[in-house]
Amino acid sequence: MTTIAKPGVSQTPGAEVVTVRAVSKSFGEARALRSCSFSARAGEVHALVGENGSGKSTMAKLLAGVLHPDTGSVTVNGEQPISPHVAKAMGIAVVFQEILVAEGSTVLDNLFLGDDGFFRARLPQREKRKRAQDLLNRLVGSEVDLDANVDELSLNTRQWIVIARALLGTPRVVVFDESTAALDHSSVERFFEVVRGLKDSGVCVLIVTHRIHELTAICDRATVLSDGADVGTLVGGEITEAKLLEMMRGRTQSDAPLRPSHQLAARGTKVHKEEALVAVGVRLTPDAAPIDFAIRAGEIVGLAGLEGHGQVEFIQVLTGFKRPVAGQIHAIAGGERHPIDSAKSADRARVAYIPGDRKAEGLFPNLSVFENFGISRYRPTARAGFIDRGKVQRMFLEQVKDLSIRLGRSNAPINSLSGGNQQKVVIGRSLAAAPLVIALNDPTRGVDIGAKNDLYVLLRSLAEEGKAVLFLSNEIEEFVGLCDRVVVFRLQSVFGTLEDGAVTSDGVLAAMFGYSDTEGLDGGRR
């Protein structure tokens, strides 16, 4: 494993290879980087750490020659990567956050993408196949058909192909931008071995990641970015979770917050008596156990479960986006019952659904921030069918203020915002309709820590206002201290419900895996 990097890298270990000096980069009015500087050496593993929107990925793109700095300079061995083509020639290989493959093409073509000259292949076909097969077998850990269509491979394998593409050249600098996101657990270990191998052969490895525990395992140095600027570089033993978080947030607490429980004050017993949303005898599949469920006004209820155990379907059933196999759902507002059997009826009953996959369901990526906000608000505010833009505008500004959405211009494309701010726009859009029940499907996915905490505070305040909040999450820690109850799903039905003090990470986790002997479970249904 230590021979993955090709010979031919002639860099003196320890010599400064990557030099970033006072780089600024703006997209429209959103500033991604502001006077950011750092350097990385040959034979070291250097991490770039920061919240979402702190400019890490922008930095990766600058190194790849995809973007160019507005001011300042990015140099590698004294040269500027002015285009991806040049960067490649300079020995810079970047593995991007997205898994960039040429769809419908073979594995082999994808591995040597951009490797050949305009009229001449750099390597003969036979040599290519041999090298590719050797490397890929070692990386993936099993035989991969080089003539297979990449579309037919698993995400994990495709991620390896993208990594292998970077290694097949003769890289002097390798940048991994969140490259472990799509790797499974055993692959991550092999990935670390790859990184160590590169390091040993004198390659400068830059790792951009959110997964802080990965850093401590492998990094020599870590540069922390905050809001587009470098706020310091940690060396070796200094790299700890607490220290990194502290620098990212620009705060001084030694115990950096991760869980809502650390952020939120203990709750008063303000849960109302009246039920806001009731489900009776709901079956998600014909042979699943029926579910009876109710949420009261002012309550925050967590929905948990292993992937594919019905919690996502359930939240969609509650909000009218999916029809159950059996059972009824109705919302209760002002003593009246409103049956919910479609998204439209849910909307009328003032039940709001905030989808999980922002890109696929929540946003129109080509439209502006304002349009994305206004899209569902035009109709209810319209007068005689004509759009009342002013009214929508006022609603928008109100939500921007309430949710402290950071944006440049309201007509900038939604893509120019960070993930957290995009999510806020989606939430703000729903809040503008003054819902009584708010159902959020994994709202914190891909959102940085700061925005997460903002979100917890927001959910809590919504509950205090008397709204019923349904909160589905894949991160167990998030339930702790935030939710009044957590409903755990298993096998397309409710396995059990944890309340108040019983809402602990261990308790939820155990229930997810079907252990009911844990303290606090109010008698699982199965």
Partner 1 sequence: MVADAKWSAGRLIRQRSLRTPVILLVILLVIAAFHGPHLFTSDGLAGGLVGAAPLMLATLAMTPIAIAGPAGVDLSIGPAMTLINIAIVMGLPEIGLSSPLAVFACAIGLGVLLQVVMGTLIAVLRVSTVVVTLAVYLVLDGMNSVILPQSGGTAPDWLASWGSASTIFSLVLYVPLAAFVLWALVSRTTFFRNIRLMGANDRTAFVSGIPLIPTRIGAHVVAGVFVGIASVMYTGLIGSADPTAGTPYTLSAVTALIIGGASLGGGHAKGLGSVLGAIDIWLISYVLSTFNFGLDASYWVQFTTGAVLVASLIAGGLLTGSSRPRLARWRKRRGGQAEPGVS
Which residues contribute to the site for partner 1 (CB under 8 A)? 64, 66, 83-85, 87-89, 94, 96, 100-105, 109-110, 113-121, 125-126, 147, 165, 284-286, 306-310, 313, 323, 325, 491-492
First to last CA, the chain: 48
Looking at residue 361, what DSSP letter applies? I
**Beta-carbon contacts of residue 490 (< 8 Å; ≥ 6 apart):** 305, 306, 309, 310, 511, 512, 514, 526
Taking the least distance from each CB to partner 1, the nearer of 112 and 293 is 112
Note the residue count of the chain: 526
Burial 42-60 (b: 16+ CB within 10 A, else e): bbbbbbbbbbbbbbbbbbb
Nearer to partner 1, 108 or 247 (CB): 108
For residues 125 and 156, which CB has a smaller minimum distance to partner 1 in the complex? 125
DSSP characters over 216-248? HHH-SEEEEEETTEEEEEEEGGG--HHHHHHHH
Could you tell me the two tokens for 45?
Answer: 């593993």
Cβ-based nearer residue to partner 1, 52 or 110: 110
Q: How far is the CB of 523 from partner 1 (least distance, A)?
A: 23
Name the CA dihedral angle for 8, 14, 16, 20, rounded to a multiple of 10 degrees.
110
Instruction: Decide: 67 and 61 in contact? Cβ < 8 Å.
Output: yes
Cα 442 off chain centre by: 10
Q: How far is the CB of 386 from partner 1 (least distance, A)?
A: 33
Distance CA 304, CA 298 (A): 20
Q: Quickly list DSSP for 307-335.
A: TTSSHHHHHHHHTTSS--SEEEEEEEETT
> CB 267 → partner 1: shortest distance, Å?
33
Residue corresponding to tokens 């077998």: 137
Question: CB of 320: closest distance to partner 1 in angstroms?
Answer: 15
Q: Which two tokens stand for residue 452?
A: 């997460």
- Judged by beta carbon, residue 161 or residue 468, the one nearer partner 1 is 161
Query: CB 452 → partner 1: shortest distance, Å?
Result: 25
Q: How much is the CA Rg of the chain, to the nearest whole Å? A: 25
Pick between residue 86 and residue 217 the one whose CB is nearest to partner 1. 86
Output the smallest distance, CB 25 to partner 1, in A. 17
Yes or no: say if 350 and 333 are a contact pair by the CB < 8 Å rule.
yes
Between CA 228 and CA 64 the distance in angstroms is: 18
Give the amino acid at 108.
L
User: In whole angstroms, how close is the CB of 286 to partner 1 at the nearest point?
Assistant: 8
Q: Return d(Cα 353, Cα 351) in angstroms, integer.
A: 7
Q: Which C-beta is closer to partner 1: that of 110 or that of 441?
A: 110
| Residue closer to partner 1 (CB basis): 110 or 444 | 110
Q: Both tokens of residue 204? A: 């400068």
Tell me, rounded to whole angstroms, the distance of Cα 441 from its chain centroid: 13
Q: Are 39 and 19 in contact (CB under 8 A)?
A: yes
Which of 299, 272, 264, 327 is closest to 453 using CA atoms? 264
Residue 136 Cβ vs partner 1, minimum distance, rounded to whole Å: 17
**Structure tokens of 505?**
């990470």
Tokens matching residue 360: 């696929």
- Cβ proximity to partner 1: between 71 and 125 the closer is 125
Residue closer to partner 1 by CB (options 359, 394) is: 359
- Is the CB of 129 or the CB of 406 nearer to partner 1? 129
Which parts of 369-523 fold into alpha helices (H)? 369-374, 378-381, 389-402, 419-431, 449-464, 505-512
Closest by Cα among 196, 225, 226 to 47 = 225
Is 120 or 273 the residue whose CB approaches partner 1 more closely? 120
For partner 1, which is the closer residue by CB, 226 or 492? Answer: 492
The one-letter amino acid code at 265 reads A
CB of 490 to partner 1, least distance (A): 9
Relative to beta strand 92-95, strand 485-490 is unpaired
